[in-house]
Amino acid sequence: MHPLDGVRIKINRANEHIAEYWSELQTFRKTNPYSVREDIDTQSGNKVWIVNSKITTPPLSLSAIIGDAIHNFRSTLDYLAWQLVIANGGIPDSITAFPICTKSSQWGRAQRKLQGMNDRAKAIIKSEQPCFSNHFYRRQWFTWLEELDIMDKHKYIQITQTATGGGLFSHALPLNTQYFIYEGIVQNGTKLASVPQAYSYVNFNPAIDISFGDGTSALGESVYVTLHDFNVLVEDTVTMFKNFFH
C-alpha cells in the first residue's frame, strides 16, 4: 500500500460527488427555475434579456452532495498531513492535521498540528496558508474550502441560490461589439444580457446555474466551478509533497 493511497481515494470520492452534482444540476435546469423575457432598453435602444418570474430555489438534496464533496477535499489534506508525519518517522496523534489559517494570528497555535513533520514540509504548508500566500486564487480557494467545510460539519447545510453561469448568443458578434452577459445569483428583474440595437436579430440562451448563498465569502460563486477549483487546489497541494514519499 502506498502512503498516499488513502489521499487518492478521498480525492476520487470527492470527484464522484461532483459528477453526481452535475447530473442533478442538469435535472434542475430542466425544471426552468426562472423565465426570461426580451425587451428594448428605452434609453440605449439595446436589446436586453431580463428575468421575468419568481425564482425556484435549488433543492436541499443538492446541498448534501455539495457538502460531501467539500468534506472529502478538505479531509484529503488532513490525510496528507498524517502521512507526512509517518514519512518523517514520527507518530501522528489526535491533533495532527493540515491547518488552514485565514489570519496570521491563528498560525502560532496551528503549528502544533504539524508536529512530527520535517522542517521542509512545515515550510511548504506555511507558505500555502491564506494569511501568508501571495497567490490570489489559491488563497481564495483555501479560504472557501475551510469556511464551507466548517459550515457543513458544524453549523447548517450549504445554502445555495439559483444563478446564471452566463450564456450563449445565437449568432457570433463582430469583434469589439459592446455586449453584456451577467453571471451570478438571479432574482426577478435581473438583466441577463444585452446587445446593440443593430443585432436585435440575435437571441440569448442563459446557462442556468447554482451559486453559493449567504454564510461564507464564496457568496455568489458557481458551485460547480468552485468544486472543480477545489479539485485543482487539492491535487496541486498533494503534488507538492510527492517527493516526501517513496
C-alpha–C-alpha distance, residues 191 and 36, integer Å: 9
Over range 23-45, report the average pLDDT.
95
Give the chain's mean pLDDT: 95
Q: What percent of the chain has pLDDT over 90?
A: 91
**Contacts within 8 Å (CB) and 24+ apart, 39-45:** 40/197, 40/200, 41/194, 44/194, 44/197, 45/196, 45/197
Position 93 scores a pLDDT of 95
**Cβ proximity of 235 and 242 under 8 Å:** no
- Other CB atoms closer than 10 Å to residue 106's CB: what's the count? 14
What are the C-alpha distances in Å from 51 to residues 19, 33, 38, 94?
A: 28, 10, 9, 51
The β-bridge partners of 209 are 163
What are the C-alpha distances in Å from 183 to residues 26, 186, 198, 227, 242?
A: 18, 9, 24, 17, 37
Q: For the residues of 28-42, what is the DSSP string, one character each?
A: HHHT--S-EEEEE-T
Over range 198-218, report the average pLDDT.
93
- Length of the chain as a residue count: 246
- pLDDT tens profile 117-147: 999 999 999 999 999 999 999 999 999 999 9
pTM for the model stands at: 0.93
Q: What is the CA radius of gyration of the chain?
A: 22
| Angle subtended by helix axes 5-30 and 60-87, to nearest 10 | 170
End-to-end CA gap in the chain? 11
Closest CA to 171 of 209, 200, 197, 208: 200
- pLDDT tens profile 70-118: 999 999 999 999 999 999 999 999 999 999 999 999 999 999 999 999 9
